[in-house]
Amino acid sequence: MEVYNFTIKEAHEKLVNKEITSVQLTKDYLDQIEKTDKDINAFLTVSRELALKQAEKVDEKIKNNEEISLLAGIPVAIKDNILVVGEKCTSSSKILENYIAPYDATVIKKLKDADCVIIGKTNMDEFAMGASTETSAYKVTKNPNDLERVPGGSSGGSAAAVAANECVYALGSDTGGSIRQPASFCGVVGMKPTYGAVSRYGLMAMASSLDQIGPITKTAEDAKIVFDVISGKDPLDSTSVKLQSSNNSNTKSLKDLVVGLPKEYFLKGVINPDVEKNIKEAIKKYESLGVRFQEISLPNTEYALAVYYIIMPCEVSANLARFDGIKYGLSEKADNLLDVYLKSRENGFGEEVRRRIILGTYALSSGYYDAYYLKAQKVRTLIKKDFEEAFKKVDLIMTPVSPFPAFKIGEKIQDPLSMYLSDIFTISLNLAGLPGISIPCGKIDKLPVGLQIIGPHFSEELILSTAQAFEK
């Protein structure tokens, strides 16, 4: 049976109606990976045994007429910086080449409680540092829409796997746009929840005040199903929050919605004209559904990129200090302890990771801390205030996800600054801790374009229902 291109809802209905078994569904997706992944390189490891064991368990439940969850028996791919007990977890780095996860991340525990089928771990930029999945130590993932182009990053493997129908949905992590930008480039849905809405326990830390795990799916409806399962307070993550059950402000009708369009995101020379055209057509569609739009200003947006590339490397330099060649991972032999540290880190980390560690260590060093890190934190507060002021006037904000569609493999990798500009429209949300979603809204030739919908803290329900209205 041709099962590819299922949404979670469709696959669930087929399973419940006994039109297909979970084992058959899983085998079909494993066959699809075998057939297509040699061209796409979305997966680092395929967990065939684990997946089939989980699928058998679900089939047994269905056979006994037990009730199953919406995610039960449905294949999911996991970004390789999220721990799955007993499975390899490399964060696409040589320093963790043979590292086996000793425990499950909280999101994995929640997915397993819902009887999901984990089909494998996906490729990513090394330690999630990159916007194209080209900094992986193992392989370069390709965009299923055009194999000469990047899938985006850092969750490029997860987005490519969903777009290539190698799984039904996937998990990614988003520190500066790493779920939304690849979702936009690959033509799928990617959601970054509010900071604290989803536990980070068991996610390899890159920048702890910015990281957030979220779903990559075919539809906004599917994103909601996954978000409802993985979100919530976790005693193992002190930054996680108990979500309030839905109230009326979370579910406004489209006719009551006022949406802001920040003028800073539509400046000439910043955005590709074809991307702008697709975004404006999406806005017209929303207008026809009764949504009202108004121009707003987020004046400190222009500093977001600079602020992000000070705060994030500072947190990176602290978080990656644990990879020292002693506790776990790669350990190079040397005559003394210092050389063990230096050799292990030099040979284990790639160029981009080393660059960010050096930048962060410099910005945190004596004499520079006040000039860089402290100043960046103050401007971060101003960026957050811009959004707070905007949300007094509007319910949601809409922007492009990226200033351009997927670029060619190799086009930006030698020029870090032009690569960093890929995140220009997405990083403000991470700095402010806000939720946002990327939904496909058109194409330039065969390259997808994503529309970003941003809401106030913990307004996921409103964002998702607004995104679903566009799909319908």
Name the amino acid, one letter, at 369: Y
Would you say the C-alpha torsion 349, 351, 357, 362 has a positive or negative sign?
positive
Alpha-carbon distance values, 139 to 156, 164, 190, 243 (Å): 11, 17, 23, 38
* DSSP secondary structure letters along 161-204: HHHTTSSSEEEEE-SSSTTHHHHHHHTSEEEEPPTTSB--TTBP
* Angle, vertex CA 434, rays to CA 380 and CA 101, nearest 5: 100
Alpha-carbon distance values, 404 to 278, 450, 451 (Å): 11, 10, 12
Strands (E) across 263-307 are located at: 292-296
Q: How far apart are the C-alpha atoms of 46 and 126, rounded to whole Å? A: 19
Q: Which residues contact 351 (CB under 8 A, 6 or more apart)?
A: 135
Asked if residue 466 lies in contact with residue 254, where contact means CB atoms within 8 angstroms, the answer is yes
Beta-bridged to residue 143, according to DSSP, are 146
- DSSP H or E segment with residue 304: helix 304-319
Residues noted as catalytic: 79, 154, 178
Strand order in the sheet with 292-296: 43-46, 117-122, 75-79, 169-173, 213-217, 189-192, 436-444, 447-454, 396-400, 258-262, 292-296
Helix axes 304-319, 351-364, angle to 10 degrees: 100
Q: Which residues contact 423 (CB under 8 A, 6 or more apart)?
A: 131, 176, 177, 181, 305, 308
Asked if residue 122 lies in contact with residue 42, where contact means CB atoms within 8 angstroms, the answer is yes
Name the amino acid, one letter, at 24: Q
SS3 content of the chain, % helix, strand, coil (to 5): 45, 15, 40
Helix (H, G, I), strand (E, B) or coil at 110: helix
Q: How far apart are the C-alpha atoms of 379 and 85, rounded to whole Å? A: 40
* DSSP secondary structure letters along 388-457: HHHHHH-SEEEEES-SSSPPBTTSSTT-HHHHHGGGTTTHHHHHHT--EEEEEEEEETTEEEEEEEE-ST
Asked if residue 30 lies in contact with residue 119, where contact means CB atoms within 8 angstroms, the answer is yes
Cis amide leading into 428 (omega within 30): no
